[in-house]
Structure 1
């Protein structure tokens, strides 16, 4: 089985071929997606390559508007404009219709609901006497391993008895292959969520997931606050 993180060793050519990432020759400055010209510097991937097939069946014909999808999944639109004018420095996920839009947002909102299950596997390891590092979320898209994953580190103090007394810092980041999908860590809310008893404890890694979506020539930036469980000690 492929180890977590090993996917970053895949060559660019393999990713382009297997994931349908938009590419162009060295002489081209733009490529056409959904009838709109997008700079070749923007890395894109089709929703069909990052969302499992069952999600498309689940949402087929279910929603009549983007507003319904946003309300059902908890995402908020931060920006909408013509995709050719939008700054997409984090890349973008392309969708062809409302069902694909719904599948994308449903998938990522569903993963958030499964966060405890995802992080309950024995992934946490003591990085030092006063910190833990763990993979708290992974997409599982690489034959049981991950194409993208969130890694978190939490530091804390112990007293002379070895008991955890307080959290002193936290960080988390989205890693791997994730065009159009970014993560912003919230250290204040994360640190406030910590609880501990004796030598062990737990914390919720909190932050904001941002998805950049190209649909019908329109670019949407949508966000959702998410939280992932992590054990301490």
Structure 2
């Protein structure tokens, strides 16, 4: 008799995951404007095609299929390779990182589709209000192995960039946490917001004292607006170089 409740729970979770996948497919089919918050904040537009624009600080990129152009502080649109070849370290130490981020940027709904592959289970959806919009909130949790692997990669990158000192201990079994929250409009079923969070406790040895315990945490937030009607903010000549047809 215990098997039936378990099967019903698994079926319910599969239904929730299918509902989220359907929401992401709608975003892919319609297009939208977006903002991503994390280490670097970027905003832009996605249109079926696929066409993706991104803006970070004074940089802007536009991609159509596999072709990408990047505009820098000089106001000129160049290939990402040309931008990376520029000597900008003294003017802007983050320039190369920004260009690489724009070069590898994916549409937010595509990022979320990849994250869903690491999901194991979730809660029952709940109603939540997001900036005046009544939403259905889906909370999904990452599988422990996938969560550990992703946090290890993120910490190694942070250590390489010297934004994190290598910890003496990582408390995986007792403190690793990670999940994906998605907020879907109750009115039209479109994605409004998504948040990816991962964390784990790390410790540093202190002579003759208890270890110095800290929390390593990463968070990415995705905001979606203008579903089905995003406007490209691109000059005509850039559209021509990218073979983008005028609306």
Q: Which structure shows the higher helix fraction? A: 2
Structure showing greater Rg: 2
- Structure 1 length as normaliser, TM-score? 0.29
Q: Which structure shows the higher strand fraction? A: 1
- Structure 2 length as normaliser, TM-score? 0.28
